[in-house]
């Protein structure tokens, strides 16, 4: 069985989301379905169909989270004792050598990746190019938009 890596903080966030879905969202949807049923004919009841669709999405997400958390390999970056190299869970500050723009990313598991929070999946092209590199090195990333080069400015293990 494949054990997907997840950071300790990521696992905590996923557990919080699972708890929210089970204790708040699911009961709210059940109540909405019950209320919509009281309105009569279910064939033409848009509220009922919308609530059932929400229920389907909610139950699917609950199953996904339970599955991931039950098989996840939770990695606490502070326990690894690795200094100076980029590993799973590390937060890296990079300078784009073309634009001189500074960006910061944390390398996380696929399920917890969120580019809006600068959390990139370990399977992404940029993360694969960074793993194993040290501060001061240049990483060449083969991205869909073309080849990009980043200098590693700083590595943090938080």
Q: First vs last Cα of the chain: how many Å apart?
A: 29
Q: Whole-angstrom Cα distance, residue 150 to residue 96?
A: 5
What is the per-residue pLDDT across 55-101, written as a single tens digit (0 to 9) for each? 999 999 999 999 999 999 998 887 777 778 899 999 999 998 888 89
The CATH architecture assigned to 5-75 reads: Orthogonal Bundle (1.10)
> CATH number for the 77-156 domain, one of 2.40.40.20, 2.130.10.10, 3.30.70.260, 3.10.50.30?
3.10.50.30
**pTM for the whole thing?**
0.79
Is 72 in a helix, a strand, or coil? Answer: coil
Q: Whole-angstrom Cα distance, residue 39 to residue 90?
A: 53
């Amino acid at each position: 069985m494949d054990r997907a890596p997840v950071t300790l903080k990521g696992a905590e966030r996923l557990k919080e989301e699972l708890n929210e879905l089970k204790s708040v969202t699911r009961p709210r949807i059940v109540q909405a379905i019950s209320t919509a049923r009281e309105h009569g004919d279910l064939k033409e009841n848009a509220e009922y169909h919308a609530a059932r669709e929400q229920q389907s999405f909610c139950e699917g997400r609950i199953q996904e989270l339970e599955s991931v958390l039950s098989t996840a390999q939770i990695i606490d970056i502070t326990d690894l004792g690795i200094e100076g190299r980029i590993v799973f869970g590390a937060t890296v500050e990079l300078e784009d050598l073309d634009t001189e723009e500074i960006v910061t990313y944390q390398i996380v598991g696929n399920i917890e990746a969120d580019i809006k929070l600068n959390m990139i999946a370990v399977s992404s092209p940029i993360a694969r190019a960074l793993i194993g590199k040290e501060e001061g090195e240049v990483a060449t990333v083969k991205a869909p938009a073309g080849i990009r080069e980043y200098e590693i400015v700083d590595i943090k293990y938080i």
